[in-house]
Structure 1
């Protein structure tokens, strides 16, 4: 049966039967500290449905045999987070690398995995795939603005097997606000240095919510600026008893002046971190998405959810250089850059367009049944398809938008998934076994020479988790699961249509943790983890070459701590000084074998057993000290520290001149924010500073040196009505 026929049949069978819930409402910040992991929804067995969330109610969160955490809307607003990067660093285990300075393309890694393009992380929005090609090309060149979301959930460990296809490191689920029943709205305006402006309007009522965002600002380097618009509509419609329909649609537009290449070491030394001669490089993106979810509470203990989703994404990145060693403008141009001489890219009469179109669609029914008194079953399946069209156009002027076609590829992916987990509860203890099966079919067509090839793979992904509650305030949890990450279409099929002997990324992942709330106002979650890779696929295929695809064995071992103290709750005072800490210790992130190139079977330069994997800092820490006043004042000071890391397999202590290799020193960035909410609760004003002391530091060497964002001071006002 064809994939389209499969969709039609599944939709006919399931569209009347699914169950999905609107997002749980956010809680007041003082109550948030009291509820484990800040969640709010109904307990198992009730008719309140919460399939947009991957963590669930406070009761369900405590029962999860995995580490997890939530950032809610009150925290995001009080901290006035500037980017998704800043927000995610507030949670342990997550290494987020800046890129252009505005957080438009966050590079997210979890528990030591390379953060480049977020390829090893599963990104969801309201429980549905966010990435434009999670099976065939899980690279993140698009990410919604942080302002769109009311809640961010992070789930790691064995419970991630309910989601896929990426099950190695973790799941990040971004949740949009629940449409209100009464007419209400928000208007927020802010602006500041670096030509920054942000306008955000939201209005809703009668189960509908409209959201519009306009942003612009300068990036981290010269000749870098971006402007975006983001529009979102969401509706929740009550049907007959026990049924509900949720509809979502969004549209994103980005017009940026931003280059791909970083700096050489000599350019960085001679001209400073903001230097960027590529003033004609542009990035334009359009993304539209929609979903329809029908939820059905069949009984008090059985809930069925079906979601249909569709997205299309197109981006055109025109540039004159992709890396510091790119010879697009000639070898002399490259050599001058490495020597630290000023260059004029316009003199080379070359501009290349990397043009991409992606279409993604699928259907996913999910059944949840509470059986017996305490046992709980979750099962479902997914049918998913992706289509990619990739063009490379080589122009002959510095502002060309036409030219010779150097690449014309069509890449197709079909994926069929089935999953089941059952939680068996025995008093204070519970055991949760699970199984996920992924079947993926790949096809690649080279439209320049007519070459075509296809291949497929099938993988079972088992999991097992246990929990034990004791002393009324603590939960001990442990889990083991097989990690799975499928290869990209371009990795498993060559441009001539030949199938490559490349299996999926494979690991064994272990967790042991303890979470609890020993006293009112104090909560913590401490986790130890081991990720052993029998086969890790190293990040490859950086544009313009230079980074070969390679596989090898690796091991990651470490610990995480998330803790919060609210002195106001502890001392029963309306004044609430508070302290939050997110810390990750990764003493081992080492290759266990040399990483071998897939194309020719030779070891990657510098790779050897015992050497630390690239972009795996040993220490990550975010500490937040704040004070919430009962009359509406909230002030906080935050330090975000990213430890030393290496940019290459050889762990080179010194750079090689290209800017792409060498040690990246650790850096601490300070952020501050203060908000005053007027007694009417309708108006609030704020001022915030990001990188308060304007520290200069390096965040990436993948394509040459990229600097962290410079200081941004911005302030604004917001008005709410209901």
Structure 2
């Protein structure tokens, strides 16, 4: 047993060590390989890379071999391998990725549906689909991306695309891998994968601890991630999979950038030395897979997650502290570290989900059918506070001009959804029609005045059809066309007026998405995938003023 330490300017990830053996204790062969086949208990989006050939629409997979070859450090670096996917860095570590697909805004990944093993990864995919945390890339063995009509199998967001992160299966025999890495800017990382049989089950444990001083001054980062998967076979036709995870972050990060003058003076400075972000996310899911017969499988999952986020900062935009001239203590940047207070944006989310999917294959003459039907219930509960303090390091409500409790909101959302899709194959042709239905109930309670809280409700219903067609030109090439309805519901806070409780009548953001493409293998090791796409928005939700900015009112632009 040996340990090799590699201290480089670019720290190595867990996947990199498969090639470089940096800080590696090789207990047994790697837990997951690029050839690993998804077991029956996994909710599959695409499957292995060969599965792309049968999808009547655009999509992509990033296999473990691709991640190793690219030496990715974060999810942003991994996703940049896929054309049409833009991942914008925020703090340099991929902790809060901003992912956009096909030119849509990447801010907080709000136009993308993020999944883990086919289940929602976001803390509130309906009511507040923003990404304020992200597990480390080392947790995953494969990434799947859908950009065409096939994404209506999932929801609620179908405008941009679906990204599914796939965890490796629990191994049948004991395997393990430990990695240590170090780099510049105080970067340290320890990563551990262990798996094998235990108490009649198969288990997989992944643990990761990462810290860094950051690429800017006063921007330290520290995360701890723990993931556990237990798989249990109940006879030949039943599988249970339990997943439990805990993600924690304690970082000194700010919401503010630099002015041009500040950047020219020191591009790595961060004057907001007292800003801080803490987050904890606990997730769990139980999946029961029942192989009814050789052609029919039922998968039912129950999931719950709790997410708590406290972000204390002195400014979210240029009009707020410390440039708030209505408050003498915050009249200029000169007061930043002395008299100007801060703002605590405190969030808590509880998210529940229950879902069943039935897949069935059949034949009728020369036509082969692969059908899938699903129904899901989602329940999201948000508790949101904004507390303004009197000092740069305060953590309690203050008494100065703009201090005190500024927001106290409860937000609820219940959603029912269902879908039906089928893939009919005859000869070289594959036709895949499908439809999805979403029913969403919003509720909002403004408790800023406890004596007379303001309550409001709203409701949205939407049918989401889609159609994809592919033609296998020869064993190496296939062409495809598709059209589907894009759908993205408004956030609870955007659907209901906070002051009056009345509906803002935003409706859903909808579009008609078209695409046509060609993919195949030019030669061994060289693949091509060309896609034309068009999005016609029927109702796009945008800021009502041209200036926009933080706090801008939203409206339906049509």
TM-score tier, shorter chain, comes to 0.7 to 0.9
For residue 427 of structure 1, report the CA deviation from its aligned partner. Answer: 1.1
Look up the match of 2:486.
483
1:538 is matched with which residue: 528, 539, 542?
542
Whole-angstrom CA distance in 1 between matches of 2:203 and 2:80: 32
User: Mind listing any 5+ residue stretches in structure 2 that lack a counterpart?
Assistant: 1-17, 20-33, 398-403
Whole-angstrom CA distance in 2 between matches of 1:535 and 1:218: 43
For residue 371 of structure 1, report the CA deviation from its aligned partner. Answer: 1.3
- What is the DSSP-based 3-state SS (H/G/I as helix, E as strand, rest coil) of the residue aligned with 2:521? strand
- What is the DSSP-based 3-state SS (H/G/I as helix, E as strand, rest coil) of the residue aligned with 1:87? helix
Q: How does 1:596-611 map to 2 (within 5 A)?
A: none
Cα separation, partners in 2 of 1:399 and 1:327, compared to 1, 3 Å:
closer
Q: Which structure exhibits the higher relative contact order, with contacts defined as CA atoms closer than 8 Å and separated by 6 or more residues?
A: 1
Q: RMSD of the TM alignment (CA)?
A: 2.2
For residue 550 of structure 1, report the CA deviation from its aligned partner. Answer: 3.9
Look up the match of 1:396.
390
For residue 420 of structure 1, report the CA deviation from its aligned partner. Answer: 0.5
Look up the match of 2:95.
104
- What is the DSSP-based 3-state SS (H/G/I as helix, E as strand, rest coil) of the residue aligned with 2:138? helix
Once the two structures are superposed, what CA deviation does each residue of 1:574-606 show, in whole Å capped at 9, x if it has no partner? Answer: xxxxxxxxxxxxxxxxxxxxxxxxxxxxxxxxx
1:209 is matched with which residue: 180, 198, 204?
204
Look up the match of 2:455.
452
Residues 413, 441 of structure 2: 8 Å contact kept: yes
Residues 262, 324 of structure 1: 8 Å contact kept: no
Residues 194, 218 of structure 1: 8 Å contact kept: yes
Cα separation, partners in 2 of 1:238 and 1:308, compared to 1, 3 Å:
same
User: Mind listing any 5+ residue stretches in structure 1 that lack a counterpart?
Assistant: 1-27, 30-37, 43-47, 338-342, 554-722
1:174 is matched with which residue: 145, 165, 181?
165
Cα separation, partners in 2 of 1:534 and 1:160, compared to 1, 3 Å:
same
Whole-angstrom CA distance in 1 between matches of 2:549 and 2:343: 11
Look up the match of 1:117.
108
Look up the match of 1:281.
275
Cα separation, partners in 2 of 1:540 and 1:115, compared to 1, 3 Å:
farther
Cα separation, partners in 2 of 1:460 and 1:129, compared to 1, 3 Å:
same
- What is the DSSP-based 3-state SS (H/G/I as helix, E as strand, rest coil) of the residue aligned with 1:372? strand
Look up the match of 2:13.
none
Whole-angstrom CA distance in 1 between matches of 2:522 and 2:37: 23
Look up the match of 1:293.
287
Once the two structures are superposed, what CA deviation does each residue of 1:645-702 show, in whole Å capped at 9, x if it has no partner? Answer: xxxxxxxxxxxxxxxxxxxxxxxxxxxxxxxxxxxxxxxxxxxxxxxxxxxxxxxxxx
Moved more, 156-165 or 528-537: 528-537
Cα separation, partners in 2 of 1:149 and 1:40, compared to 1, 3 Å:
closer
Residues 52, 175 of structure 1: 8 Å contact kept: no
Whole-angstrom CA distance in 2 between matches of 1:523 and 1:95: 21
Look up the match of 1:228.
223
Residues 313, 358 of structure 1: 8 Å contact kept: yes
1:161 is matched with which residue: 127, 134, 152?
152
Whole-angstrom CA distance in 1 between matches of 2:544 and 2:396: 28
Whole-angstrom CA distance in 2 between matches of 1:221 and 1:362: 39
- 1:151 maps onto 2:142 in alignment: yes
For residue 274 of structure 1, report the CA deviation from its aligned partner. Answer: 1.3
Look up the match of 2:22.
none
For residue 97 of structure 1, report the CA deviation from its aligned partner. Answer: 0.9
Whole-angstrom CA distance in 2 between matches of 1:461 and 1:470: 30
Q: How does 1:549-628 map to 2 (within 5 A)?
A: 549-552=554-557
Residues 41, 58 of structure 1: 8 Å contact kept: no
2:506 is matched with which residue: 502, 507, 523?
502
1:128 is matched with which residue: 119, 132, 141?
119
Residues 424, 430 of structure 2: 8 Å contact kept: yes
Look up the match of 2:361.
370
- What is the DSSP-based 3-state SS (H/G/I as helix, E as strand, rest coil) of the residue aligned with 2:337? helix
Residues 322, 340 of structure 2: 8 Å contact kept: no
- What is the DSSP-based 3-state SS (H/G/I as helix, E as strand, rest coil) of the residue aligned with 1:100? coil
For residue 66 of structure 1, report the CA deviation from its aligned partner. Answer: 1.4
Once the two structures are superposed, what CA deviation does each residue of 1:385-444 show, in whole Å capped at 9, x if it has no partner? Answer: 100000011111111111122111000000000100011112110111100000000000
Whole-angstrom CA distance in 1 between matches of 2:427 and 2:329: 70
Whole-angstrom CA distance in 2 between matches of 1:425 and 1:495: 51
Q: Provide the TM-score with structure 2 as the length reference.
A: 0.87
Whole-angstrom CA distance in 2 between matches of 1:289 and 1:146: 17
Look up the match of 1:408.
408
Look up the match of 1:427.
427
Look up the match of 2:523.
519
- What is the DSSP-based 3-state SS (H/G/I as helix, E as strand, rest coil) of the residue aligned with 1:86? helix
For residue 451 of structure 1, report the CA deviation from its aligned partner. Answer: 0.4
Residues 40, 58 of structure 1: 8 Å contact kept: no
Residues 329, 340 of structure 2: 8 Å contact kept: no
For residue 216 of structure 1, report the CA deviation from its aligned partner. Answer: 0.3
Residues 297, 359 of structure 2: 8 Å contact kept: yes
Look up the match of 2:439.
439
Once the two structures are superposed, what CA deviation does each residue of 1:260-300 show, in whole Å capped at 9, x if it has no partner? Answer: 1111222223x232121111100000000000000011110
Cα separation, partners in 2 of 1:349 and 1:521, compared to 1, 3 Å:
closer
